Every structure is written in structure tokens, then in C-alpha cells.
Amino acid sequence: MELQLDQFLFILRIVLVALIYLFLIQLIFVVRRDLVRMASGAGAARAGTATQKGLGYLIVVKPGPMALRPGHRIDLEPVTTIGRGPTNTIVLEDSRISSEHARITYHDRQWWVEDLGSRNKCYLNGNQVPVGQGLPARPGDLLVLGPMDGVVTFKFGV
């Protein structure tokens, strides 16, 4: 009789620790499903917009202090404005970004970047973007906003 109780306790001991491990395995499955769904969701979104519109997008390369993630994709509209002000298409809350910093437009089958008279300028592939005069941008070009080493960096994509 005693022996049986001992055996039962031994089984309980194993079950107790096994339960924690089972819980951990369950957690890992949930987390894995989460990650897979997130990845496939992002992929589907990319494929979806690409077939929907052949326009273009910006990829965040260096988010600076912004609440953006590197690799995050922002779709462009035919006229996209970037700045600190709340009316811009892409709002970047940073004191080094002017309230109306830059404008990206699509005409003549090409993207054009234009500075809107920003204080800290913006640079396309290292060349300063002139004020009020568009500079053509091709896929892969790097757009840097802000002083010197830049606050935010975007990459063009089509």
C-alpha cells in the first residue's frame, strides 16, 4: 500500500514538471503561428498592392528616432507629401523635419522628388534636392531627410 502511494507521488512529480514543459511547448506553437501569420500577411499585402497598383512605395531604411520599423513599406500616392505637419501623407514627428518637408509626385511616367523649402534639406543619393524643382527618382534610390547624416532614410521601389 505504501509503495503504491510512493509510486503515485513519483508519477505526480513527473506530471507536475511535464505540465510546465507542455505549457511552454503550447506557447511556442502559438508564438510560431503568430509569426508565420505575420510574415504571410506582410507577403500577401506586398503581392496585393503590387498587382493592384503599379505605382511605387518607400521602404524605411533608417528610421532614426521615429516610431517606424526598418523594412516597413509605405505606399506612395500620385502626390505624396512628407513633413511634420498633420496634413502630410507621411507624418514624421521630429523637430528636424520641417512641417512641409518634401513632395514626391508621379508624372511623365516617373517619380519626382521636390524640396518644399525645408530647413534641413533632403538628399537623393547624396545630391541635395533643389527647392521647387523636381529631381527624378528611380527604384533603389535613397532619399535622406534632415541634416548631414539624416534623420530618416527611405529607399524607392516600384
Partner 1 sequence: MLQGIHRYRWRELQLLILPCLFMLTGIVMLVLVDNAPQQANRVNLPTLDSLIPAIGVIAALLATHILLTVFLPQADQVLFPIVALLSIFGVLMALRLGPALDTPNLGSKQLLWLLLGLGFCLLTILFTRRGTLWIRRYKYTFAAFGILLVGISLVRVLTSHIDFNSPTHDELNLPGGIPFQPSELLKICLVVFFAAYVAENREILGEGGPRLGFLPVPPLKQFGPLLLMLAVALVLFVGLRELGLALLIFGIFLAMLYLGSGRLLYVGWGLALFAVGAFLCYQVFGYVQDRVMVVGIDCNSQDPNVRKIILGPAFQICQGLIAIGTGGIFGSGLGLGNPTAVPAVQTDYVFAAVAEEFGLLGVMALLGLYIMLIYRGFRIATHAKSAFNQLLAGGLTAVFAIQTMIIVAGNLKLMPLTGIPLPFITYGGSSLIANYIIIGLLLRISATEST
Q: Which residues bind partner 1 (CB under 8 A)?
A: 2, 5-6, 8-10, 12-13, 15-17, 19-24, 26-27, 30-31, 34, 64-67, 69, 94-96, 151
Q: Measured from the CB of residue 96, what is the shortest distance to partner 1 in angstroms?
A: 6
Residues 76, 111 contacting (CB under 8 angstroms): yes
Q: Measured from the CB of residue 70, what is the shortest distance to partner 1 in angstroms?
A: 11
Residue 137 bridge partners (DSSP)? 111
Which is closer to partner 1, CB of 34 or CB of 117?
34
Radius of gyration of the chain (CA): 26
Residues 114, 87 contacting (CB under 8 angstroms): no
Which is closer to partner 1, CB of 30 or CB of 79?
30
3-state class (DSSP) for residue 78: coil
- Report the distance separating Cα 65 and Cα 60, nearest Å: 12
Q: Measured from the CB of residue 29, what is the shortest distance to partner 1 in angstroms?
A: 10
Which is closer to partner 1, CB of 16 or CB of 109?
16
